[in-house]
C-alpha cells in the first residue's frame, strides 16, 4: 500500500516514538554566562556590576529593576536578593587585546570563537570565558583569576594597590555549592548589620530619654557633696566659721581694759 505518487512510507514516519531530549551544549551554556547579563540576557557591556552571589549584570538593567520591582520581567528571581544599589559592585575589568568585538564578523562569513573573551586576568593573562575560575574583590571591584591569586600571594590588590583580606574575595559565576555558600555568608552579614543597627537605635533612645527625666525632676539635679549634704547646706556651713571669728573678736575687745 502506497501513498500518492507511488511512495511507500516507512515505519518511523508513521509510528511516533518518544521525543528526544535536547542536550544543551555545556561549553556554549558556560560561555554564555560570561557574555550575557544574568537579568536581561543581553550582551554584557560596560559598566558591568556583580552581586554578593557573583553573578554578572549590566548596570542599567539592575537599575531599571530596582526602580520598578513590580514590573514582570524574565529572570527576576535571579535578582530577588537585591534590595538597593548598595548590594551591587561595579567591576574593574581588564580588556582583552585579542578581542575584536562584534564588528569582526558583521557579515557572518567568518569563524567566531566563542571561547574568546572580552576580558582577561591582568596578572597571568587568562581569558574570562568560563574555563578558568575568576574572583573579584569587594573592596575595589578588581577581577583576577584564581590561579593568579594562588601563584602571587599578597594582601594588596595587583591592579590598584588597595589592601584586602581573604574574606573580601568572591567567586564569579561559581558552582551551585559555591553560590549556596555565598548566600549563607550574605544572610549572616545582613543579620549582623540589622542587629547592630537595632542596638544603636536603642542606645540613642536611652540617651534622649535621660535629659527629659532630669527636666521633670529638677530636685534630683542638686549636687550632692560629702556627708550627703546639698550645695545650699554646704554654703551655710562655709559661712559659719566667719561668724564665730567675729564673735570672738568682739568679746576680746569688750574684755580689754
Better-scored residue on pLDDT, 208 or 256: 208
pLDDT surpasses 60 at 241: no
Separation CA 215–CA 136 (nearest Å): 55
The 10s digit of each residue's pLDDT in 99-150 is 877 656 556 556 566 678 899 999 999 999 888 999 999 999 999 999 999 9
Using alpha carbons, list the distances in angstroms from residue 115 to 110, 128, 204, 222.
15, 9, 56, 80
Separation CA 164–CA 182 (nearest Å): 18
Q: What is the pLDDT of residue 209?
A: 75
Q: Model pTM greater than 0.85?
A: no
* Among candidate residues 144, 96, 93, 135, the one with its CA nearest the CA of residue 117: 96
- DSSP for 35-88, written as a single string: TB-TTT-PBP-SSEEE-TT--EEEHHHHHHHHH-TTS--TTGGGGTT--SGGG-
Separation CA 49–CA 44 (nearest Å): 10
The 10s digit of each residue's pLDDT in 148-176 is 999 988 899 989 999 999 999 999 999 99
Separation CA 119–CA 37 (nearest Å): 15
> Mean per-residue pLDDT for 187-202?
88
Sheet of 56-58, strand order: 56-58, 48-50, 89-90
The 10s digit of each residue's pLDDT in 15-65 is 877 777 777 677 777 888 999 999 999 999 999 999 999 999 999 999 999
User: b/e string for 233-256 if b means 16 or more Cβ within 10 A?
Assistant: eeeeeeeeeeeeeeeeeeeeeeee
Amino acid at each position: 500500500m502506497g501513498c500518492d505518487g507511488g511512495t511507500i512510507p516507512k515505519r518511523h514516519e508513521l509510528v511516533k516514538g518518544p521525543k528526544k531530549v535536547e542536550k544543551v551544549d555545556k561549553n556554549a551554556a558556560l560561555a554564555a554566562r560570561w557574555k550575557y547579563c544574568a537579568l536581561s540576557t543581553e550582551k554584557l557591556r560596560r559598566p558591568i556590576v556583580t552581586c554578593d552571589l557573583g553573578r554578572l549584570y549590566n548596570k542599567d538593567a539592575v537599575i531599571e529593576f530596582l526602580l520598578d520591582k513590580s514590573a514582570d520581567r524574565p529572570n527576576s528571581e535571579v535578582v530577588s536578593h537585591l534590595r538597593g544599589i548598595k548590594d551591587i559592585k561595579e567591576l574593574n575589568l581588564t580588556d582583552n587585546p585579542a578581542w575584536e568585538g562584534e564588528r569582526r564578523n558583521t557579515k557572518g562569513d567568518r569563524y567566531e570563537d566563542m571561547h574568546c573573551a572580552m576580558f582577561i586576568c591582568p596578572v597571568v593573562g587568562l581569558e574570562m570565558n568560563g574555563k578558568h575560575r575568576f574572583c573579584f574583590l569587594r573592596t575595589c571591584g578588581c577581577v583576577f583569576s584564581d590561579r593568579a591569586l594562588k601563584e602571587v600571594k599578597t594582601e594588596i590588590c595587583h591592579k590598584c594597590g588597595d589592601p584586602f583580606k581573604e574574606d573580601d574575595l568572591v567567586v564569579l559565576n561559581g558552582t551551585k555549592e559555591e553560590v549556596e555558600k555565598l548566600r549563607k555568608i550574605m544572610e549572616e552579614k545582613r543579620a549582623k548589620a540589622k542587629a547592630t543597627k537595632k542596638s544603636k537605635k536603642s542606645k540613642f533612645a536611652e540617651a534622649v530619654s535621660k535629659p527629659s527625666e532630669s527636666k521633670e525632676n529638677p530636685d534630683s539635679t542638686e549636687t550632692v557633696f560629702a556627708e550627703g549634704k546639698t550645695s545650699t547646706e554646704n554654703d551655710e556651713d562655709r559661712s559659719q566659721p566667719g561668724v564665730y571669728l567675729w564673735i570672738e573678736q568682739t568679746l576680746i575687745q569688750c574684755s580689754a581694759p
